[in-house]
Amino acid sequence: MNITVTADKPKDQKLAVKVTIPAADVDAAVKQAYKDIANKYSFQGFRKGKAPRPVINSVVGYDAVLAQATNDLLGTAEPQVFEELDLVPIGRGDYGKDDNFVEEGKDYTYEVTFNVRPDAQLDSYDAPAITMPPEEATDAEIDRQIKTLLSYQTTYEDTKEKRAAKEGDVISVDVENIEGAAHMAGEGRTITLDGTQIPEEFQKELIGMKPGEEKEIKWTHSHTHGDEVHSHDYDIKVKFVAHKKAVTPELTDDLAKKNFGFDTVAKLRDAVKEEIENDKKNSLPTLKEDRVVEEMGKRLQLDEVPAEYKNEIFNEIAQEFLNNLQRQGATLDMFLAARGIKTDDFIKDLQEQADERARQSLALDAVARNQDIKATDDDVRAEFEKAGVKDVEKTIEEWRSAGRLPAIRESIRRSKALDWLRDNAQVTVKDEIAEQDAEAAKKEAEKKPAKKTAAKKSTKKETKESKADADKADEKDAQ
């Protein structure tokens, strides 16, 4: 179908497009609509598919035939419009009035408006300055990895602390089930008061208790399943046994051999070093791209991302996440329950991710425009070859007919923009883990109370008293 497409520049993130379809294509669409209706419905006195036009007009209505022909033409023309304008719209187009039907023997002209991404600007188009970890494994990185390995060997011992429990504590409790909480019952249960291990209502009652204290705790938990609300009552007796402290074993040659299979600590460190450096070969290029894009996203001169675009990105992220869960044999409810995450908090986090990704995508689009980056036919072909498509040319034509090639070109332009930014970024190499550890140590030191000066005052007092005693002794000897 040989259509004519014209469009003005976008205004307020909307693109008005005028499309003209030749009369020959209009007539062909009307003819096909009669044929489809004749095959779809039964008309008395005629075999299926054989009802003439006058009969169809009298039963179905001539306007209904033209309406179907119009819808068919719009659906066929839309992918061509996308290809002609190299357009990736947001959502569906607005075709205006529903009664703008085709007329046989005449060209059909219509207007459609699409929501589009804003051509936002950046406050600077220079490649950004970023920091990156070194390619080699540092001592701080090795130490942290070994600390993680040792944490798996951590045990918890009772202490003699008598203070009230607070959030973050690890405690030992005896739990007796009274109603609905058989799975919680047990003696000497170790619980971390971090908001993820036990129900919120249970933790709230434990905070403030002291070792040796007992109490009965009741609560009701409600959840929605489909359109139904289910409630469950819990009633338990709990005794606070003791505070617990983590005990991590010291790393020795014996421990390295017994628990990790290395003869010495030095050989364990060498193995960890090699593992970190192998991981960096894969992770550092991606990390560099992430940091470059993050910095460019901050330069975007746009107060707010259009809601339609942000919703589109939100749906993409959510679908990616759900697909990953499905591959792992898990559901969203299982994921949220295992991590103690509320549904509202999860959705809010996805919305923040969507806003950030949308800004970064718009920033890459701005760089591509500024650098006059193009997506050639060879680039498109290379994308399909990279994906392992067997018949590349056939697949490209299928995508063109479906109006999907503009999205491929958009992705190529963004990738090229990212390549340029990555290759030209100013990189400062830092031992980030060492800096993080130093900052953590500094904060920990600031928490410790300052030493009192009473001892010095006491020393001065004692010195004066000793001198006075010595003077008295001298006087006695003189007498």
The pLDDT of residue 464 is above 70: no
First CA to last CA across the chain, in angstroms? 132
Q: What is the C-alpha to C-alpha distance for residues 343 and 332, in angstroms, rounded to an integer?
A: 9
Q: What phi, psi does 349 have (nearest 5°)?
A: -65, -40
Choose the weakest-confidence range: 6-10, 96-100, 109-113, 180-184.
96-100
Q: Which of 410, 423, 404 is nearest to 368 (CA)?
A: 410
Q: Which of 66, 57, 72, 151 is nearest to 100 (CA)?
A: 66
Query: Quick one: 137 exposed, middle or buried, by C-beta within 10 A (0-12, 13-18, 19+)?
Result: buried
Average pLDDT, whole number, for the chain? 90
Q: What is the C-alpha to C-alpha distance for residues 122 and 417, in angstroms, rounded to an integer?
A: 14
Q: pTM of this prediction?
A: 0.77
Q: What phi, psi does 126 have (nearest 5°)?
A: -70, 150
In tens, the pLDDT along 124-137 reads 999 999 999 999 99
Are the beta carbons of 414 and 365 closer than 8 angstroms? yes
Q: What is the C-alpha to C-alpha distance for residues 8 and 248, in angstroms, rounded to an integer?
A: 69
The domain locations on the chain are 4-116, 155-247, 265-426
The predicted structure's pLDDT at residue 449: 66
Q: What is the CATH number of domain 265-426?
A: 1.10.3120.10
- pLDDT level of residue 337 (50, 70, 90 thresholds): confident
Q: In the predicted model, what is the mean pLDDT of residues 11-16? A: 93
Residue for token pair 């095959």: 39
Of 15-24, 46-55, 332-341, where does the model show the most confidence?
A: 15-24
The reply to whether CATH 3.30.70.100 applies to domain 155-247 is no
Query: Which residues, 6 or more positions from 331, have their beta carbon under 8 angstroms from its beta carbon?
Result: 325
Q: Helix, strand, coil shares of the chain as percentages rounded to 5? A: 55, 20, 30
Query: Quick one: 439 exposed, middle or buried, by C-beta within 10 A (0-12, 13-18, 19+)?
Result: exposed
Beta-bridge mates of residue 175: 186, 238
Tell me the CATH architecture of domain 4-116: 2-Layer Sandwich (3.30)
Cα dist from 98 to 7, 63, 68, 192, 356, whole Å: 21, 12, 11, 62, 38
- pLDDT level of residue 451 (50, 70, 90 thresholds): low
